[in-house]
Homo-oligomer: A and B are copies of this chain.
Amino acid sequence: MSSTLIRNLTISDAASALDAMRATRPLVQNITNYVAMTISANVLLAVGASPAMVHAVEEVDEFVAISNALVINVGTLSPLWIEGMQRAAKQAVALGKPWVLDPVGCGATKFRTDFAVEMSRAGPAIIRGNASEIMSLAGAAGAGGKGVDSTASSDAALKAGKALALASGAIVAITGETDYVTDGTQVVAITGGSALMPLSTALGCALSATVAAFAAVRPPFEAAVAAIAVYGAAGAAAATRVTGPGHLPAELCDALHAVDADMIARYATIRVVEEVNV
C-alpha cells in the first residue's frame, strides 16, 4: 500500500515533514507518565508543536476533538488514568485523529502488559517502544524486561515488531542503538542519537510525543521515520555539547529548537532495510 512512499523516504522527507509540522504547530494531547510530562512538553515546544497535558475522563472527549494528535503513555499507570486513556483513544479513532501508544515497561507486570495489549488493539496509528517492550507486547518469547530499560537489542525485536504491526494495524517503531520503523512488511532503519540518551530519563517518552506531532501532518510510517530522524539528529548534536547526561535534556531542547535539514543530514541516516515491491 505505502511501499512506494517508503522506498523513497530520505533525510529530505524528514526535513520537509519538520517544516510542515512547524507550519501547523499541532496541538498534541499527552496522557503520559509523571516522569515524562515536563520533558515531553519542553521537547514539543522546542521542536515547534503545542503540548497539552489533559487526562481526566471528564474532559478527554472534548480535548481530543480540539487536538491534532494524541500520545498515550502507560509509564505510571493507575486505574483512574486508564479510564481517561481508553476514552481518549476511542475518541481519537472516532474523529480520525492519529494517536501514538508508548507501552512503557510492558512485560514487567500483568497489569501493565494486559493494558498495553488492550491499547494496542484500540487503533493506535503508531506504537513506539524499546526492544523489550515491543517483544513483550508482541508476545514474543524470551523478551524478559528489566524495569523500563531495554534488555534486548532492537535488532532482536524486529521480528516481533513486524508481527505486532501486522496484528495491530499500527506502524511499529523500535528504538535502540539503531531504530527501526515497520508496517509489518517494510522496514526502515534510522541512526542518530547518543549512548548518553538512555541515561537521561523519559527521552524515549518525549520521542513518542514528537512522533505524535509529526503524525498530525504526515501518514504514520513517514511520520515515525521523520520524527525519529529529527529527534535522533538533535540528540546526537546535543551529545556533542555535554560531558555527561545532566545537561542533555536542555541541550536536546536547544537542538530541537534549531534543527534543520543540515543538522538532520549531518547526524542521522535513514535506510530502507526491507521493501515490498508493488
Within the complex, the shortest CB–CB distance from A146 to chain B, in Å, comes to: 6
For A41, what are the chain B residues with a Cβ–Cβ distance below 8 Å? 35, 201-202
Chain A, 14-69, CB within 8 A of any chain B CB: 27, 33-35, 37-39, 41-42, 45-46, 50-56, 58-59, 62-63, 66-67
Query: What total of chain A residues lie within 8 Å of the partner, measured CB to CB?
Result: 60
Q: Is the CB of A27 within 8 A of B78?
A: no
Residue A108 lies at the interface, judged by CB distance under 8 Å to chain B: yes
A251 an interface residue at 8 Å Cβ cutoff?
yes
Report Cα–Cα, A148/B41, bound state, in Å.
11
Task: Name the one of B76, B149, B201, B242 contacting A55, with C-beta atoms under 8 angstroms.
Answer: B76
Instruction: Kindly state whether residue A7 has any CB partner on chain B within 8 Å.
Output: no
Within A93-111, the residues touching B (CB, 8 Å) are 105, 108-111
Of B34, B112, B249, the residue contacting A34 (CB under 8 A) is B34
Docked pose: A63 CA to B76 CA in angstroms? 12
Q: Collect the chain B residues with CB atoms within 8 Å of residue A257's CB.
A: 199, 244-246
CB-defined contacts of A77 to chain B, threshold 8 Å: 56, 59
Contacts of A38 in B (CB 8 A): 35, 38-39, 201-202
Within 8 A of B (CB), among A107-159: 108-112, 146-149
A147 contact set on B, CB distance < 8 A: 27, 50-52, 66-67
User: Could you jot down 26 A-B contacts, CB within 8 Å?
Assistant: A34-B53, A35-B38, A35-B41, A42-B201, A42-B245, A45-B198, A46-B199, A50-B149, A53-B75, A54-B76, A54-B108, A55-B76, A56-B79, A58-B79, A58-B109, A62-B108, A62-B109, A200-B253, A244-B254, A244-B255, A245-B257, A246-B252, A246-B253, A247-B251, A249-B250, A250-B250
